């Protein structure tokens, strides 16, 4: 809608009405000669009923539509136009159909009835302009309705009883007559309503067509009052034209009020509901339909749309190592990766296939219309290959893999929620087993239950102190002396016995229990090392692993400092091990490592060579040691590539002035190879398995010796 054009139209209507008034007064005598009582009684009822109908329409629209939007303006507009409509209706019936009714009014009394009607409307419009824009209680509606009806009856009663005593309102007599004064007062009220309404809504008036219509209608009421003031009698042509313009003004008021009080709130409500539905059924990161929408889609699909032999396959995709990417590169990069995965899946989908976001790093891919299982299997293979191409994140390419869980209706589930649950179970099984995709089988449900039980047992284990530490020595590969040791956690489960870290650390990471568990390990290791020092043994550093969640804690340094203070262990006798993946977020890693180094604690990178460390950043990292992962050491004698990797890491560490520790040393041949590469320390079963504190003290602390000359333990 062109508001500028509508404003011009409004101005034109106003000018036309004023020109019509001027011409009517200029040719008043001629018009009255052409104008007959028959014309009056023909058109007057039509125009009068039109005014009454418009008033009743305003009442209905203000009173009955969208009650939740009932404001003070609507609350007063409704009874105002109800009273006005009743008075118009009674007036027209009494004047035009006097022979058919027992209720007839004289022309003078009829003028008073219309005057009171106009005065009441003008007062109420001015009052409505002053009202605040806020909602009111629905309970007041009935009271206001009956007050309006009672007020209309009171006006009729007073005019009927005292009609003969009322003064003449016609303008044709004295210039200072009561009629002139009263009509000028009504004119003042209408003009005030028009001016104040335009001023109050001047900002809205420029942009909202409804306010323009209301202002136009109020302006036409002002012009109609001019005609009423110049009418000599009820059947005067001025009176008929005034009533006609009054009807046009009320019609504009009706349209404007309907737009402001009904159409705009209705559209706003629709927009709010649409936005709510979008938020409720759409993932805010990827823009894909969410899990709730998937459930609805499956319900409808399984209930109505399937052919007898047709199956539905639901694939749930989980991005591998997404937590590492998200934690290392930051949430913004993680969200971008989710968006990119969703976009790639969307482009991959064909007709009859749909993509959904399951929240977090999970997606769902719905396959329908496949009656041939081979064709469906080929499509699933293509979906897995979709992740062969890397994703560009912050200008660098990252290869991202996804694990896929598959559940098929009706073979694996009979209901939509069951299908989703089974596909979700299958994807977690695929991740645990390290395969690309896995079809749901019932035994997976048992594993999922066991995992949940394991998490509950972990919480209980922390409270019941079921954990213990074992210690593994590090031996200097040239001198054979004990140089340091590593503390490792074990779980003494009351029913399952000794549980190794590989069985519960991943569950602790996912549940967040790794943070309190890691703090307990750090505290217990420092306490044990301090006990050995107090027992008179040679002080040596003890190494403890940090988890990703621990490393990302803002108060990590305060926690470490607090534990060292509590245990009275000097910082130089503590070493913390991190993984390469913890250094993805370079800014966070550098700041955290510098703060740790500042308190005198040593730092090593564990499992080096298995992550994605940038050599450019490695040279600047404030670290003391590289630990070569056991996967390389185990095969140095049978795989020349692994031998080359170990040799390269050792050489690089020497040039960077870092210590090198080789993990997984299990035989003498590996030892000789590592000695040739000038690795500083070795750690592995060749020297000792991880053992409890008492055994470690007995074997390694009481009688220091050259462990290179000992048999493997």
225-280 pLDDT, tens digit each: 888 777 766 667 787 888 888 888 888 877 877 777 667 777 777 777 777 877 88
What's the pLDDT at 229?
Answer: 79
Share of the chain above pLDDT 70, in %: 81
92-101 confidence digits (pLDDT tens): 777 766 544 4
What's the pLDDT at 501?
Answer: 83
pLDDT for residue 687 is more than 80: yes
Burial class (CB in 10 A: 0-12, 13-18, 19+), 278: exposed
CA distances from 174 to 165, 171, 285 (A): 18, 7, 78
What average pLDDT does this structure show over 430-443? Answer: 74
What's the pLDDT at 524?
Answer: 94
What average pLDDT does this structure show over 2-28? Answer: 80
pLDDT for residue 132 is more than 70: no
pLDDT for residue 582 is more than 60: yes
pLDDT for residue 78 is more than 90: no
187-237 confidence digits (pLDDT tens): 888 888 778 767 765 655 444 677 777 778 888 888 888 887 777 666 677
Pull the structure tokens for residue 74.
């609507």
What's the pLDDT at 100?
Answer: 42
Q: Which of 322-326, 341-345, 496-500 has the lowest mean pLDDT?
A: 322-326
Residue 303 DSSP label: I
What's the pLDDT at 70?
Answer: 60
* Total number of residues shown for the chain: 713
What's the pLDDT at 81?
Answer: 80
Is pLDDT larger for residue 453 or for residue 298? 298
277-313 confidence digits (pLDDT tens): 778 888 888 889 988 888 888 888 887 756 666 778 8
Q: Which phi and psi angles does 174 have, rounded to 5°?
A: -100, 145
Is pLDDT larger for residue 588 or for residue 691? 691
What average pLDDT does this structure show over 34-62? Answer: 76
Share of the chain above pLDDT 90, in %: 13
Rounded CA separation 685/667 (Å): 8
pLDDT for residue 460 is more than 90: no
What's the pLDDT at 29?
Answer: 67
Angle at CA 317, nearest 5°, toward 311 and 318?
A: 155
Rounded CA separation 537/534 (Å): 7
Pull the structure tokens for residue 106.
């004289």
Dihedral of the alpha carbons of 612, 615, 620, 626, in degrees to the nearest 10: 70
Rounded CA separation 583/600 (Å): 20
DSSP result, 400-423: --EEEEEEEETTT-SSHHHHHHHH
What's the pLDDT at 602?
Answer: 93
What's the pLDDT at 101?
Answer: 46
What average pLDDT does this structure show over 426-443? Answer: 76
**What contacts 323, CB < 8 A, 6 or more positions away?**
361, 548
3-state secondary structure at position 442? coil
What's the pLDDT at 331?
Answer: 82
Is pLDDT larger for residue 125 or for residue 359? 359
pLDDT band (50, 70, 90) for residue 69: low
What average pLDDT does this structure show over 13-22? Answer: 85
Angle separating helix axes 291-300 and 264-281, nearest 10 degrees? 90
Which residue stretches of 512-662 are H helix?
A: 514-534, 548-551, 556-567, 586-598, 615-618, 630-633, 640-655
Q: Which of 43-52, 477-486, 530-539 has the lowest mean pLDDT?
A: 43-52
627-686 confidence digits (pLDDT tens): 888 888 888 787 888 888 888 888 888 888 889 998 989 888 888 888 888 899 999 999
What's the pLDDT at 172?
Answer: 45
What average pLDDT does this structure show over 536-544? Answer: 93
Mean pLDDT across the chain: 80
pLDDT for residue 390 is more than 80: yes
Dihedral of the alpha carbons of 171, 176, 179, 184, in degrees to the nearest 10: 100
pLDDT for residue 434 is more than 80: no
What's the pLDDT at 713?
Answer: 43
pLDDT for residue 537 is more than 60: yes
Highest mean pLDDT among 15-29, 190-204, 461-475, 621-635: 461-475
Distance of alpha carbon 645 from the chain centroid: 47
pLDDT for residue 401 is more than 70: yes
609 neighbors 628 (Cβ within 8 angstroms): yes
147-199 confidence digits (pLDDT tens): 778 877 887 777 777 666 666 665 444 445 666 777 788 888 888 877 876 77
Pull the structure tokens for residue 464.
């019941």
Radius of gyration of the chain (CA): 44
What's the pLDDT at 13?
Answer: 84
Q: Which of 13-22, 374-383, 668-677 has the lowest mean pLDDT?
A: 374-383
pLDDT band (50, 70, 90) for residue 34: low
């Amino acid at each position: 809608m062109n508001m500028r054009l509508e404003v011009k139209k409004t101005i034109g209507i106003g000018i036309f009405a004023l020109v019509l008034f001027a011409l009517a007064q200029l040719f008043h005598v001629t018009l009255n000669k052409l104008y007959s009582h028959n014309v009056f009684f023909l058109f007057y009822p039509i125009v009068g009923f039109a005014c009454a109908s418009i008033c009743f329409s305003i009442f209905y629209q203000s009173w009955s539509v969208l009650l939740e939007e009932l404001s003070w303006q609507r609350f007063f507009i409704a009874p105002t136009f109800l009273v006005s409509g009743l008075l118009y209706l009674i007036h027209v019936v009494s004047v035009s159909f006097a022979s058919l009714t027992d209720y007839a009014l004289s022309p003078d009394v009829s003028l008073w009835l219309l005057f009171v009607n106009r005065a009441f409307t003008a007062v109420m419009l001015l009052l409505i302009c002053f009202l605040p824009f806020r909602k009111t209680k629905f309970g007041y509606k009935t009271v206001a309705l009956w007050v309006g009806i009672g007020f209309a009856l009171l006006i009729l009663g007073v005019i009927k009883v005292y009609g003969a005593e009322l003064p003449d309102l016609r303008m044709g007599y004295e210039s200072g007559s009561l009629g002139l004064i009263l009509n000028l007062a009504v004119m003042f009220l209408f003009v005030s309503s028009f001016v104040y309404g335009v001023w109050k809504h001047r900002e809205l008036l420029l942009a909202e067509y409804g306010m323009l219509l209301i202002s136009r209608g109020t302006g036409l009421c002002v012009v109609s009052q001019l005609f009423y003031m110049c009418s000599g009698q009820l059947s005067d042509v001025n009176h008929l034209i005034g009533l006609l313009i009054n009807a046009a003004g009320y019609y504009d008021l009706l349209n404007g009020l309907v737009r402001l009080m009904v159409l705009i709130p209705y559209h706003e409500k629709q927009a709010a509901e649409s936005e709510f539905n979008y938020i409720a059924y759409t993932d805010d990161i990827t823009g894909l339909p969410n899990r709730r929408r998937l459930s609805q889609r499956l319900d409808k699909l399984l209930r109505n749309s399937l052919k007898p032999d047709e199956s539905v396959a639901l694939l749930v995709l989980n991005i591998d190592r997404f937590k590492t990417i998200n934690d290392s590169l930051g949430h913004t990069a993680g969200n971008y990766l989710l968006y990119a995965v969703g976009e790639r899946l969307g482009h991959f989908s064909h007709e009859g296939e749909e993509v959904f976001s399951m929240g977090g790093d999970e997606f769902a891919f719905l396959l329908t219309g496949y009656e041939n299982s081979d064709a469906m299997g080929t499509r699933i293979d293509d979906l897995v290959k979709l992740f062969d191409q890397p994703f560009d994140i912050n200008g660098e390419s990252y290869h991202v893999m996804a694990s896929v869980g598959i559940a098929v209706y009706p073979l694996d589930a009979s209901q939509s929620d069951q299908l989703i649950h089974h596909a979700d179970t299958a994807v977690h099984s695929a991740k645990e087993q390290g395969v690309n995709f896995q079809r749901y089988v019932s035994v997976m449900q048992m594993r999922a239950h066991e995992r949940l039980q394991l998490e509950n047992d972990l919480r209980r284990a922390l409270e019941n102190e079921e954990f213990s530490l074992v210690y593994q020595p590090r031996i200097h590969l040239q001198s054979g002396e004990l140089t340091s040791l590593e503390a490792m956690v074990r779980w003494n489960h009351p029913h399952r016995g000794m549980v190794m870290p590989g069985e519960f650390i991943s569950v602790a990471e996912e549940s967040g229990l790794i943070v309190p568990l890691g703090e307990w390990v750090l505290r217990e290791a420092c306490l044990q090392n301090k006990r050995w020092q107090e027992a008179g043994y040679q002080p040596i550093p003890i190494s403890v692993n940090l988890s990703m969640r621990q490393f990302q804690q803002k108060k990590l340094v305060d926690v470490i400092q607090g534990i060292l203070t509590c245990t009275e262990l000097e910082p130089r006798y503590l070493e913390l091990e991190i993984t390469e993946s913890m250094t993805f977020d370079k800014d966070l890693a550098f700041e955290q490592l510098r703060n740790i180094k500042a308190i005198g604690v040593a730092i090593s990178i564990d499992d080096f060579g298995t992550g994605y460390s940038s050599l450019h950043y490695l040279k600047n990292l404030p670290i003391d040691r590289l630990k070569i992962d056991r996967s390389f050491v185990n095969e140095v004698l049978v795989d020349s590539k692994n031998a080359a990797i170990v040799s390269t890491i050792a050489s690089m560490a020497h040039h960077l002035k870092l210590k090198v520790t080789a993990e997984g040393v299990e035989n003498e041949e590996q030892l000789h190879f590592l000695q040739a590469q000038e690795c500083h320390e070795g750690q592995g079963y060749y020297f000792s398995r991880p053992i409890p504190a008492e055994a470690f003290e007995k074997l390694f602390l009481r009688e220091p010796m050259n462990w290179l000359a000992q048999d493997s333990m």
